[in-house]
A = this chain, B = another copy of it.
Amino acid sequence: MTMKKMSQNYRITKQRQKILELLTNTREHPTADQIYKKFKGKFPRLSLGTVYRNLRILKEQGQIWELDFGTGLSHFDAVVHSHYHFICKNCRKIYDIRIPSIKELDDRVRTLTGFRIYSHRLEFFGLCDACNARQIVR
């Protein structure tokens, strides 16, 4: 039997604050390393390990999401509202798709499988305007 720690008393540190702030104020979906590099100039003592640890904690708290778009890296996103993503097959840029979560999808799968559905993830792949204009074929 594994026991969960009774209660984690999270603290508010400058590092954690700054990381959450960054994720809240950007529409990009940065990786741990991108976050690290962004702060390295102002806080030269910051370590990549700290970034990873804080990302894990913020995720545990439900303040951010960890997303995988098949790029081999984890991308992070402040949880503002549920939304979908578009990934350009050429430039790998990730865009938010601003349509609300389609709850009927969950209902449909619940009916079909009988499973308890918590959420779903929907991602679109294709070419963004810029890459499409350049006639890139993949």
Contact = CB atoms under 8 A, between A and B. Distances in A.
Given A99-B112, A113-B86, A121 B122 contact: yes
Main secondary structure of the interface of A (DSSP, over half): strand
Interface residues of A, number: 34
A124 interface: yes
A108 B99 contact: yes
A100 to B, nearest CB: 12
Interface stretch (A5-13, A15-23, A39-47, A125-133): A125-133
A14 interface: no
A95 interface: yes
A99 B109 contact: yes
Interface in A69-110: 70, 84, 86, 88-89, 95, 97-99, 105-106, 108-109
